[in-house]
């Protein structure tokens, strides 16, 4: 048999293996206990030892339920039950359509959707409401809901610790699907998300987060770890997004680092969707066809993923400058990716339709075969286990890893709950900015909303004008999306955050 026929036969074998593995993954996801007709009773299945060698089931500790159970039926308001609930209570929501925004500013509240005969409780924003769930409490659990047609976010956390977001079906919720912001010790698992114009799962300025067993497809970005630390992305099926899994730093945010990220055992395949992000937003610059993107993040381990069919590149590693960001926009953020570790991964048929910059590098090497891995820019200490297994560009300074696997880390969740955040009056403006505003507003860099330095020019010495805009925003600029009203915040919080924003410096 000649070489071309051998190569063709080999590729067919590899693709057959991938299809079989995808089938196993789908069966595991959709026929797992969490996908039954009625979700399992909620336990506090959150706190897991980060270095234990036991299996994940043995690592989960349940707390005895001693609270009150509220039942919400079609025609009721979920928010009415939230108002009556006390810490430790459970709110069960039965099938029906609920068009509302649910604000949860209490601690230790569980909202559980009950799925009966294939019918879900549906939160429908009708393209009129901005958010489905907004929580600022600690110990919030949300599971078993279908969420659709919101303009902003499906589930957004605002500085709440110890959260569980599980087994939700989120479709077309605007900017973000699941968006914990400035939270610690959280579990995001068994969710399905599609049709999101920024990130389906966006872990922003968080610590100790596990993102497990989710299916994300048809979004601009599948899963993002942004300005976050100690995060695990494992066993997720990430496909048909413009970009699959991202670990990066956005300059101008209060948290300046992204590090200690493990991307492991994921399917990252055919992320070739057209990028439909809002023009000018950070993710609008992600080239369609990018499997995994690492920008300026440190200590990232990529292990045992199946990465295939991403037309631009399998793994792209870059610094700020080559990622289209000015390092000068935030001198406190290190612009370089350091200590990236690439271990064993299966990579096939990536880079077959690369962008021009990558094509130029291919021409220099006199090859027409696109990259599995492309590294560009500065950075130190990065390693790869076996560079010869992949088609690579820019890995000349990569050494041999000192580790062979990351499996000694089972989870980044804490052994015990993180401390509840009790915000003093003095901290109110800072924490409101961290937990609410910074997800869309960085200092000089555009995320979704207008940068902070421009807001400061508009409202100089006028916090009252900013408060008025928060209560009743008007879309005054065609190049930015409409800001959702923030009138659910207390008058005290709005005043504190307005004054805080006007004093922020780079």
pLDDT at 30 over 90: no
Token digits of residue 421: 């955040």
The per-residue pLDDT for 55 is 42
pLDDT at 493 over 50: yes
Domain 428-503: top CATH class:
mainly alpha
- Report the 10 Å Cβ neighbour count for 236: 29
Chain segment 136-187, per-residue pLDDT in tens: 899 999 999 999 999 989 999 988 999 999 999 999 998 999 999 999 999 9
Percentage of the chain beyond pLDDT 90 is 60
Residue 197's pLDDT band (cuts 50, 70, 90): very high
The per-residue pLDDT for 94 is 98
The per-residue pLDDT for 231 is 98
The crossing angle, in degrees rounded to 10, of helices 491-503 and 463-471 is 130
DSSP character string of 432-478 = HIIIIITTTB-SSSBSSS--HHHHHHHTTT-HHHHHHHHHS-----T
The residue-averaged pLDDT of 21-45 equals 41
Q: What is the pTM of this model?
A: 0.83
The per-residue pLDDT for 409 is 97
Strand partners, 124: 148
Residue 119's pLDDT band (cuts 50, 70, 90): very high
pLDDT at 6 over 60: no
The residue-averaged pLDDT of 24-36 equals 41
- What gap in Å lies between CA 9 and CA 20, rounded to an integer? 17
The per-residue pLDDT for 430 is 75
Token digits of residue 182: 């400035």
Q: Which of 34-38, 334-338, 416-420, 462-466 has the lowest mean pLDDT?
A: 34-38
| Mean pLDDT taken over the chain | 85
Q: By the 8 A CB rule, do 95 and 119 touch? A: yes
Domain spans of the chain? 3-31, 41-181, 196-418, 428-503
Q: Which residues contact 505 (CB under 8 A, 6 or more apart)?
A: none
**Which position has the higher pLDDT, 327 or 264?**
264
- What gap in Å lies between CA 352 and CA 367, rounded to an integer? 12
pLDDT at 4 over 70: no
**Which position has the higher pLDDT, 305 or 424?**
305
Strands 131-135 and 153-158: parallel
- What gap in Å lies between CA 180 and CA 214, rounded to an integer? 15
């Amino acid at each position: 048999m000649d070489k071309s026929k051998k190569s063709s036969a080999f590729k067919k074998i590899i693709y057959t293996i991938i299809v079989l593995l995808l089938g196993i993954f789908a069966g595991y996801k959709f026929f797992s206990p969490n996908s039954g007709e009625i979700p399992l009773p909620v336990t506090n299945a959150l706190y897991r030892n980060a270095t234990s060698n036991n299996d994940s089931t043995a690592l989960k500790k349940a707390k005895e339920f001693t609270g009150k159970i509220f039942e919400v039926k079609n025609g009721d308001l979920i928010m009415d039950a939230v108002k009556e609930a006390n810490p430790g209570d459970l709110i069960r929501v039965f099938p029906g359509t609920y068009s509302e925004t649910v604000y949860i500013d209490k601690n230790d509240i569980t909202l559980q959707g009950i799925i009966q005969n294939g019918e879900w409780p549906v939160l429908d924003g009708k393209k009129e409401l901005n958010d489905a769930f907004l929580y600022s409490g600690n110990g919030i659990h949300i599971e078993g809901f279908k969420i659709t047609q919101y303009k902003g976010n499906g589930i957004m956390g605002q500085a709440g610790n110890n959260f569980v977001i599980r087994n939700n079906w989120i479709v077309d919720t605007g900017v973000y699907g699941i968006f914990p912001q400035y939270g610690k010790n959280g579990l995001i698992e068994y969710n399905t998300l599609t049709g999101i114009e920024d990130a389906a799962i966006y872990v922003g300025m968080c610590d100790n987060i596990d993102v497990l067993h989710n299916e994300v497809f048809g979004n601009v970005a599948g899963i993002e770890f942004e300005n976050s630390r100690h995060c695990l992305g494992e066993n997720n099926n990430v496909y048909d997004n413009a970009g699959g899994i991202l670990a990066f730093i956005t300059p101008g945010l209060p948290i300046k680092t992204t590090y200690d990220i493990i991307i492991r055992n994921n399917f990252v395949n055919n992320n070739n969707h057209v990028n439909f992000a809002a023009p000018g937003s950070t993710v609008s610059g992600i080239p369609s066809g990018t499997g995994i993107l690492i920008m300026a993040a440190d200590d990232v381990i990529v292990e045992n993923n199946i990465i295939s069919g991403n037309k631009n590149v399998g793994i792209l590693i870059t610094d700020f400058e080559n990622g289209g960001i000015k390092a000068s926009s935030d001198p406190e953020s290190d612009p370089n990716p350091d200590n990236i570790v690439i271990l064993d991964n299966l990579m096939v048929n990536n880079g077959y339709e690369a962008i021009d910059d990558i094509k130029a590098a291919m021409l220099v090497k006199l090859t027409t075969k696109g990259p599995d891995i492309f590294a560009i820019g500065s950075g130190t200490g990065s390693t790869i286990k076996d560079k010869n297994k992949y088609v690579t560009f820019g890995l000349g300074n990569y050494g041999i890893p000192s580790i062979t696997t990351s499996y000694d880390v089972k989870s980044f969740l804490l052994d015990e709950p993180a401390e509840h955040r009790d915000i003093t009056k003095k901290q109110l403006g800072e924490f409101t900015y961290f937990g609410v505003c910074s997800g869309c507003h960085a200092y000089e860099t555009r995320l979704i909303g207008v940068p902070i330095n421009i807001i400061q020019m508009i409202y100089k010495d006028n916090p009252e004008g900013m408060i008025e805009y928060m209560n009743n925003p008007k879309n005054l600029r065609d190049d930015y999306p409409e800001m959702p009203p923030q009138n659910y915040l207390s008058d005290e919080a709005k005043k504190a955050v307005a004054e805080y924003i006007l004093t922020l410096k780079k």
